[in-house]
Structure 1
């Protein structure tokens, strides 16, 4: 946050400079204007022209070329023209070069205060703090889901009206099995964002499963509300398919799930529903839809972890072993994290997308990875002096069909 305020201050400096700059030139501009007015001969030139034209008219009258009425008319026209030419030349006295100096600092303070309060109202300070927390946890090689949830809960206490906090917490609660907390997060999100179909659909689904897959009156009311706003909402339609399957209405279940798949963007959820359709078809005694070839593991890394002989006995066998894969540049959160006990070494483990700490950073996203293995006596995610560590870079990510790469724990954290 300190960098943010420094950046805002740097952006304000040019604006404040533009306010101060005219004061530095005020004395020179006043002197130049005074000299110009002192040397201005425009009025004298206009009078000279007036006199020459008046003399010409009088001479024409003396020669009999124009009569007295015409002379008087042309003279009045000359005088009117002279007045028009000299009227705009009348100038007010020049103000002092120091005039208005007190207004400038007042305006400068006003600019700073208005900018500050405008940012507090319209800016994204809370979202920036939320992003910083997520990056700090995910950039830590030993970061974990519980640590991330704990840090996000701190943000929820600090900014309870920021919907992005609850939007981040809800899937973490749900995926970690904390149904009550996930429900509260969704209810808070609905209160902040309004009764949007996708939010109500998620709320209906989580309450449905919390009730033991029972279509309670509360869940049914949410389903009806969602379908009234969005008849093709895939989450609700998929849930209705589950309800039909549980009731033995396999044809209705198949129909619901096919409609849900048509509106889904999540391939994993869609494949789960396809598997449900095949099971329902088997229950009906019809030939199931052909299944796609299964990919058991997907891209990953087989790792064999061992402890250097000279470090044997330094820590207890119950010490936690963290096996972490990261992208080579270190720009993404940890791509995969596995745990073991020191007493289990040497061991071979496989890292793949199932070991991802966050859905936005998976091992399949990179071609090579950097492996870090750390042994922690305290079991804490943050490295501590006395921990044991080993690393290996440039490890290829691919189908797990070859020998495991070897990582030796051979150093002590100072």
Structure 2
């Protein structure tokens, strides 16, 4: 947590340095612009050009090369061009280089407030607190699942809408032999995360074992909903394989477990499924042999 705020503070200092850069460079830019305008001779050059052209036009009129009407028209055109050039080059007086300096502190204050507020609103402050609690328990002498559960329950009270709290709690409850609490924690997680197939599958499995390995109406409803969302959901397929195996339907158990095998990512679960398939195949072969003996 400390490192995070140090990082945020460092980034803020860099941002503030860039924000104050225009104010720190304002005096040099003001002096350069003022010097440029002072040395600019464009208006004098335009006026000199106008005077030369007017003098040439007057000489032509005196020699009779242009009549009076043409002379007046040309003189008005020269005056109009001079006026347009003058208007186009008119400059706004330079402002004081320190003008607007009070805006910078306001912007800096607003930036800091927006950063802190934005982080608390959309940041992972709760997740960081949760991580700190887990690390504290795991690194303490005599760390145990029970100690971790106590601390996580405190987090569940302070941040009940953080799904990561319940995602940590429900397997811990199951590990220490508290299936009812595990089910309630998982149901809370589903409320927050939505009825995802993987979460529904774990809930169905929990309730299946609480019911003594029986496909109750509630468990079957969860199974149907899960498979409707994901027909290849491995947890549910594995559970259905267990139920079929315990009921002596070995061929059906093998079918469920083979479908489940493709969905398990961890090698331990996949190996357990393979062993289950091997046992089911032996039982199936044994049943077939016994049936053959009876017929004979």
* TM-score normalised by L of structure 2: 0.86
SS of corresponding position for 1:285: helix
For residue 219 of structure 1, what is the aligned residue in structure 2?
219
| Offset at residue 230 of structure 1 (A) | 0.8
User: Is 2:50 the counterpart of 1:50?
Assistant: yes
Question: 5+ residue gaps in structure 1?
Answer: 288-414
Alignment match, 2:180? 180
Partner of 1:190: 190
For residues 70-94 of structure 1, what are the alpha-carbon distances to aligned partners after superposition, in whole Å with 9 as ceiling and x for unaligned?
Answer: 5445444433432332223222333
Find the residue that maps to 2:40 and give its secondary structure. coil
Distance across 1 between alignment mates of 2:168 and 2:25:
54
The question of 1:207 aligning with 2:207 is answered yes
Alignment partners' CA distance in 2, 1:173 and 1:72? 103
Please provide the CA RMSD for this pair. 2.6
CA distance in 1, matches of 2:66, 2:213: 114
Distance 1:246 1:67 in 2: 122
**How far has the Cα of 1:141 moved from its partner?**
6.2
After superposition, the C-alpha distances for 1:114-161 in whole angstroms (9 at most, x for unaligned) are 111111122212222222233333344643333333333332222222
24 and 262 in structure 1: CA distance in 2 versus 1, 3 angstrom threshold: closer
Encode CA deviations 1:369-414: one digit per residue, 9 max, x unaligned: xxxxxxxxxxxxxxxxxxxxxxxxxxxxxxxxxxxxxxxxxxxxxx
Does the C-alpha gap of structure 1 residues 61 and 218 become closer, same or farther in structure 2, counting only changes over 3 Å?
farther
Task: Name the structure where strand makes up a greater proportion of residues.
Answer: 1
Alpha-carbon distance in structure 1 between the residues aligned to 2:160 and 2:217: 30
Higher helix share: 2
Detail structure 1 runs of 4+ shifted over 6 Å in the superposition.
none
> What corresponds to 2:18 in structure 1?
18
Instruction: Tell me the equivalent position of 2:104.
Output: 104
Q: How does 1:6-405 map to 2 (within 5 A)?
A: 6-68=6-68, 70-140=70-140, 142-285=142-285
Cα distance, 1:215 vs. partner? 1.3
Distance 2:14 2:266 in 1: 48
Aligned residues between the structures: 288
Measured against aligned partners, the alpha-carbon deviations of 1:216-237 in whole angstroms (never above 9, x if no partner) come to 2221111111111111111111
Q: Higher relative contact order by CA 8 Å / sep ≥ 6: 1 or 2? A: 1
Gaps of 5+ in 2: 288-296
Distance 2:111 2:77 in 1: 53
> How many Å separate the matches in 1 of 2:243 and 2:67?
113
